């Protein structure tokens, strides 16, 4: 990884991306592939912020019936992933564990089974295509024959476009690939962003950077960095809590939403969404709810050792749909906020660079600007 310490006279860059998580790294990778030498400024941290608080699901199924274009955007990204991973591994020299094996949502009662079936029928009608269905328990057991499901499990929602990837391996591969493509990755704390002459100044702990085009991809910190143009950015912290169960033999080649086996053999349990501000303290009651549900799905977990529990803050736009937008009055500044940075990584790398460089958004993403919140951009 190419880490540099900026000087006080850092000079002007073509494009600066504030935020080096999966979203920012994916955009920088796509821009570099187009010959644009982007600079990524990323805060030094012992952890990887949102990238350490997700399972790494590439997940499109059973959601966004009310926003079919956004549903299409997720499926587009999923189908771009296999080629992207092959390319990333070749350029970075790193292996990225991934399974493009589909995904399952366990169903624990007949009423939920029928609701999910009806939802999928409507989603298929809205999209014109949907490679999945609700399956009975017998078919679920054929897909995961090494798991003894609990007696309440009557089936599952299934979609072949889903999968799972190691999120930290994906981030490492992006970062390793960037300098090989001519991009620059700098670990430094960004303090402020402001217009400067005919461009922008990014003030960091180690000096100032200047650019003509700027991308804000700093997750929840975008609320602070965008204040010069959007004082009340419609993004909030969405708390998730995760339990980690001891390493087991590999029995889950297909990810199960809410209780997924990692590539290292441990099992991650977690599905809750809580709006509690910036409180990232583990709440035992919430963790217990998730654990009890997981044992109903997979009773064998009751005999296993819980290694740890932790929580994290997802980046959540108010309507839970991604934001891809220019800032009001600042056509050279692009804002990227999404709670699905892993799922959307391939779309970010392949389909957003032209927008960053001044072009239009892809047709499927044109409803995702700040205009839907009343901003004039």
Q: Give the H or E element holding residue 259.
A: strand 259-261
pLDDT category of residue 233 using cuts at 50, 70 and 90? very high
Q: Which pLDDT score is estimated for 306?
A: 94
Q: Which of 57, 309, 41 is nearest to 166 (CA)?
A: 57
Residues paired with 269 in a beta bridge: 243, 259
Per DSSP bridges, beta strands 103-107 and 267-269 are: unpaired
| Res. 4: pLDDT tops 90 | no
pLDDT digits (tens, 9 = 90+) for 288-330: 899 999 999 999 999 999 999 988 888 999 998 999 999 999 9
Q: Are 335 and 200 in contact (CB under 8 A)?
A: no
Distance CA 302, CA 260 (A): 15
pLDDT digits (tens, 9 = 90+) for 54-98: 789 999 999 999 999 999 999 999 999 999 999 999 999 999 999
pTM reported for the whole predicted model = 0.93
Task: Give the phi and the psi of residue 369 in degrees, each rounded to 5.
Answer: -85, 175
Q: Which pLDDT score is estimated for 318?
A: 92
Residues paired with 243 in a beta bridge: 269, 309
Q: Which pLDDT score is estimated for 1?
A: 46
pLDDT digits (tens, 9 = 90+) for 106-125: 999 999 999 999 999 999 99
Q: For residue 201, what are the CA distances in angstroms to 194, 196, 204, 213? A: 5, 6, 10, 10
pLDDT category of residue 277 using cuts at 50, 70 and 90? confident
pLDDT category of residue 191 using cuts at 50, 70 and 90? very high
Sequence-ordered list of residues with C-beta below 8 angstroms from that of 152, at least 6 positions apart, any chain: 108, 109, 296
Q: Give the H or E element holding residue 18.
A: strand 9-18
Q: Are 325 and 373 in contact (CB under 8 A)?
A: no
Q: Which of 160-169, 197-206, 253-262, 268-277 has the lowest mean pLDDT?
A: 268-277
Distance CA 133, CA 116 (A): 9
Q: Are 326 and 333 in contact (CB under 8 A)?
A: yes
Query: Coil, helix or strand for 34?
Result: coil
Q: Which pLDDT score is estimated for 44?
A: 83
Mean pLDDT of the chain: 92
Q: Dihedral of the CA atoms 287, 288, 291, 295 (nearest 10)?
A: -170
Question: Is the sign of the CA dihedral 292, 143, 107, 111 positive or negative?
Answer: negative
């Amino acid at each position: 990884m190419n880490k540099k310490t900026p000087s006080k006279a850092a000079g002007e860059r073509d494009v600066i991306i504030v935020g080096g998580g999966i979203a920012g790294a994916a955009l920088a990778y796509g821009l570099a592939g187009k010959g644009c030498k982007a600079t990524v400024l990323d805060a030094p941290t012992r952890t990887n912020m949102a990238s350490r608080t997700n399972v790494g699901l590439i997940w499109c199924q059973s959601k966004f019936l009310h926003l079919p274009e956004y549903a299409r955007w997720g499926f587009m990204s999923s189908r771009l992933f296999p080629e992207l991973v092959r390319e990333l591994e070749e350029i970075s020299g790193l292996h990225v564990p991934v399974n493009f094996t589909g995904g399952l949502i366990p169903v624990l009662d007949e009423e939920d089974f029928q609701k999910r079936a009806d939802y999928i029928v409507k989603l298929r009608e809205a999209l014109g295509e949907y490679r999945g269905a609700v399956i009975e328990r017998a078919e679920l057991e054929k897909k995961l024959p090494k798991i003894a499901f609990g007696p309440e499990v009557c089936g599952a929602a299934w979609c072949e476009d889903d999968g799972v990837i190691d999120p930290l391996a994906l981030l490492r591969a992006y970062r390793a690939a960037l300098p090989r493509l001519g991009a620059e990755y700098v670990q430094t704390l960004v303090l402020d962003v402001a217009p400067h002459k005919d461009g922008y100044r990014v003030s960091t702990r180690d000096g100032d950077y200047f650019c003509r085009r700027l991308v804000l991809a700093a997750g929840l910190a975008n609320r602070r960095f965008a204040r010069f143009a959007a004082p009340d950015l419609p993004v909030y912290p969405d708390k998730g809590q995760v339990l980690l169960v001891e390493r087991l033999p590999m029995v889950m080649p297909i990810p199960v939403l809410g209780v997924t086996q990692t590539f290292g053999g441990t099992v991650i349990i977690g599905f809750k969404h809580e709006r509690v501000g910036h409180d990232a303290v583990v709440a035992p009651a919430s963790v217990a709810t998730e654990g009890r549900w997981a044992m109903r799905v997979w009773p064998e977990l009751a005999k296993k050792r819980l290694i740890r529990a932790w929580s994290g803050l997802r980046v959540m736009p108010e309507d839970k749909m991604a934001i891809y937008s220019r800032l009001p009055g600042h056509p050279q500044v692009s804002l990227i906020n999404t709670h699905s940075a892993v799922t959307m990584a391939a779309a970010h790398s392949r389909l957003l660079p032209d927008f960053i460089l001044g072009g239009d958004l892809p047709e499927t993403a044109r409803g995702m600007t700040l205009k839907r919140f009343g901003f004039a951009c």
